[in-house]
Each structure stands twice: as C-alpha cells, then as structure tokens.
Amino acid sequence: MIATTPVRTWELDRTPDLVDVVGAARDAGHEVLLVERPMPDAVSVAALGRAFDIVAAENGVALEDANGKVVDFERGNERLLAAARLWRRLSASLSTRSAGPIAIGGFAYRPDRDPAGPWSGFPALLLRVPALALMRSRGRTFVTAATADADDLLDLEPRSVSTRAARALTISPIRNPVSWTAAVESAAARLRAGEAEKVVLAREVMAHGDGVVTAANVARSLRSAYPSCFIYLITGGDGTAFVGASPELLVRRSGARAYAQPMAGSVARGATEADDERLARQLEASAKDGAEHRLVSAFVVDAFKPFAEKVSAHPPEVVRFTNIQHLATAVTAELREPAADSLELAAALHPTPAVGGWPRAAADAIIDGLEAMDRGWYAGAVGWIDAHGDGEFAVALRCGLLWEDGARLYAGVGVMPDSDAARELEETELKFKALLTALT
C-alpha cells in the first residue's frame, strides 16, 4: 500500500513568474522541473520538490517515494509503456473527488538505454509527482500539493548571489568539425547504398564561461528570445541542469483529441521581410528538405492511426522562429475510446524520423556507428501528464546540459542521400546560437 497525503488543488490569486519560482526553489536546494510555453493559450507547468518518481530501472520502471524507496514496479522492455501503466495506478491512488496529481519530466532519446558520461545525473526516464506543482493556463495559475507541507515552497525567495555571472564564453567542439563532416558524408553514402532513407546526426560543443552560468537565467533569456518555443529546465541528480528552447511539439492530448506538429527541413531567417520570404520559398522548393519533411509527416500520421478514428494532416507550412525557419505539418487525431493517454501516444511517436531517421532500426545503427557521443536526453522529450491522461510532450531540442560555469550544447541535422556536409555543419552552428546567446 502506498502511503499518500490527499492531493489538494487550488487557484492562486496571483500569476507568479514560473522561472522565478523554480529559480528560488533550486537556490534553496530543491529539485525542480519546468516546461513553459509563453503562448497565450498554452499550458505551463513548474514542479518543486518530490513526492514520487517514476524512474527507469532494470527490466522496467520503478515507483520511488520521496526518500528513494521503491514502492511499486512495472516490468517491460518498452519503458514508456511500462511508465504509462504505472502512472495509471499511481494517479488513481492519489486522486480525490476534487483533485488529481500531475507528473512532469521526460526521457532520453533511447529510453531503453541508461545515459552515461556527462548524463550520469539523468535516468533514461523520469516522471516526477512533485511536492508542489504550479500549472498556468489562459492566465490562471493552479497549485497542486502532494505533500502536507508543500505550501511552504510557494514562499521561497530567490537567493542573493554574490558570484560573478558569466559574460564571455570559450567555445570548443567536442569532435573536430572535419571529422564530423566526414561522418555526414559517410552517412549520406550509406543512404545512397540503400541502408536507410534518412538519418539524423548530432554534434556537441563545450561552452566554458568566465563566471557562473545560472540555469534559471538561461531559461529566462531563452523565453525572451524564443517566445513561441517550449522552454524547459530539468535538474539532474548530480547538480547539472538540462535547459532548452524547443520549437517542436511531439504530442499533445486533450480528451479525445491529439495533436502533433512534426518539423523537418530548415533554413536561416533573413535580414528583412523580403529576405525571409525568399529563404522560405527556397526551403519550400528544396527537393532535399521536401523529401525529408514528407518522410517525417507521413510517419506521424501512420503512428496515430492505430489509436484514432480519424487522422488529418494540414499541408506543410513554413514556421518562423527567432533565428531559423522550419517546414512543419500540423496533424490532428480523433482518438477512439478508450483514448490512449499522452504517454502512450508519445511512446508510439518517439523517436520520429525528424530526430532519428528512417527506418528506425537502420538509422539508429548508423547513429551508433558514426555519431560518437551519448545523446542522453537530447532529442528525447520533456513534458507532463495529468490524472486524466491529458498532457503535452515537446521534443528536447535547442538544448544544453549546464553545470556551474559552462555547458555541453547539442544540435543535429537530417542527413539525406544528397546532403551537403558543409551545409549541414552550418545548420548546426545556426541551431547552437539559441543556447549560446542565452548562456551569458
């Protein structure tokens, strides 16, 4: 029997800044998670402290209490599906007539593998029921407490920091760019030989600051610079923090309807509106980008079909962000009853060909052979799920793994048989800028 405190939910009469809230809680030594989307109708969630963790374990996923004691376990090689089953049991046991819990977290690109090296503070999957969760939707903020003393976390004040914030960065690639472009050329040759249709290759760079790099400040800067992106901050068990600004929705489920917005195919922003339009038309006319995008959008439509009465996809469009433009397709699924929850849908969709390639097994084999790094949570997903199964997961892109005075930054590109390695290297540099500007 799981020992629980009845879950309580109430509405705040104020609208706190969620980045300030998690920053103050982290300063006070609490574990924090944040998934925020500043768009007017979007849902944002902040998590402070811990009541329960659903976490990757050998042969499945474990449910741990606030002290790290395993109180339940779900076997299964498919960890996302095992987590979905465990979440249904836990949320049912915690829910009351008037309130239900929420779990926030995410998972690695390879949920079946335990991250290593710099990612040692992150399990392959983590969904946390926090001591206190704040959910903001349509200008209203609701609080859910899962422990008796969770209310105290609302009164935390940011710590006065005397250490100097980083003002300059030293950037160094983990892998020589010449070696990485050679890997892209090798991948393209293997695609031409028929091993796969597409593969995504990523690279990482190291950024060292001349002072402290604060995760909350980075998240705040990203929110300001990329107002239409998902901003996320997940603290690791080793003091690191995973922070990013993702443009891409993996899946959103609301009742009997699910949504996805796969993106593949990219081009820079222009200096003027006319330049933007010219580059956008260039992107739409690109045979390489068009083929890459059709592969991804078709995959998402097919992945939804086993769960849906009807799936519809809009024609692809060019969506603009601060420093980049992407081809994107909006996909909607009318779910059949009983509706799959957001975690089950994420399991069906992840990883899309936008972050892995296609066919999946062949692409992963090429990644394992050529990428020469541990992706960890990069190109995984971050998000939340509630007691009804509604929720939202974003693809973990435009991101970095932060420590006190620096970060490892990650960016990837879709490689096709006709890819130009030099152009792909330039695209990664464009994507790195999202984090580089925010670190100082």
Query: How confident is the model over 346-375, as a mean pLDDT?
Result: 96
Element (H, E) at 328: strand 324-328
Res. 94: pLDDT tops 80:
yes
Q: What is the pLDDT of residue 5?
A: 73
pLDDT one-digit tens code per residue, 235-260? 999 999 999 999 999 999 999 999 99
d(CA 59, CA 54): 14
Q: In angstroms, rounded to a whole number, what is the distance separating the alpha carbons of residues 339 and 247?
A: 26
Instruction: Check the CA dihedral 43-47-52-58 and report its sign.
Output: positive
- Helices within 286-354 (DSSP H only): 287-304, 342-349
Task: Tell me how far apart the alpha carbons of residues 396 and 394 are, in angstroms, rounded to a whole number.
Answer: 6
Domain boundaries, the chain: 169-214+248-378+403-439
Amino acid found at 232: Y
Rg (CA), the chain: 21
Q: Pick 169-214+248-378+403-439's CATH classification: 3.60.120.10, 2.60.40.1930, 1.20.1050.10, 3.30.420.40.
A: 3.60.120.10
47-76 residue pLDDT tens: 999 999 999 999 999 999 999 999 999 999
Could you say which of 31, 204, 248, 371 is catalytic? 248
In this structure, are residues 129 and 118 in contact, taking their beta carbons and an 8 Å threshold?
A: no
Q: Which two tokens stand for residue 40?
A: 């007017």
Distance in angstroms (rounded) separating the CA atoms of residues 88 and 391: 13
- Tokens for 422? 């030099």
> Side chain identity at 86, as an amino acid letter?
L
Q: Which of 5-9, 89-93, 270-274 is predicted least confidently?
A: 5-9
Q: At 155, is the secondary structure helix, strand, or coil?
A: helix
For the stretch 122-166, pLDDT in tens is 999 999 999 999 999 888 999 999 998 888 888 887 665 556 677
Among this protein's residues, is 198 annotated catalytic?
yes
Residue 338: is the preceding peptide bond cis (ω within 30°)? yes
Give the residue among 142, 354, 335 at the shortest CA–CA distance from 261.
Answer: 354
C-alpha 365/C-alpha 353 separation (Å) is 14
CB 352 within 8 A of CB 273: no
Structure tokens at 105: 């977290």
Residue 358: per-residue pLDDT: 95
Number of residues written out for the chain? 440
Give the position of tokens 């109708």: 41
CB neighbour burial string for 24-59, b if at least 16 within 10 angstroms, e if fewer? bbbbeebbbbbbbbbeeebbbbbbbbbbbbbbbbee
What is the model's pLDDT at position 163? 62
The verdict on whether 248 is a catalytic residue reads yes
Written as six digits, the tokens of 260 are 């996805």
Catalytic residue among 31, 36, 64, 198: 198
Kindly state the average pLDDT of the residues 97-111.
93
Alpha-carbon gap, residue 5 to 228, rounded angstroms = 37
Q: Record the pTM.
A: 0.94
Q: Report the SS3 class of residue 237.
A: coil
Confidence of residue 40 (pLDDT cuts 50, 70, 90): low
**Cβ neighbours of residue 123 closer than 8 Å, sequence gap 6 or more:** 55, 56, 114, 115
Asked if 131 and 145 touch (Cβ cutoff 8 Å), the reply is yes
CB-based contacts of 60, cutoff 8 Å, min separation 6: 73, 74, 75, 76, 79, 82
Q: Count Cβ atoms below 10 Å from residue 365 Cβ, excluding itself.
A: 16
DSSP β-bridge partners for residue 25: none
Q: What is the rounded average pLDDT of the residues 108-121?
A: 95
- Report residue 273's pLDDT band, with 50, 70 and 90 as the boundaries: very high
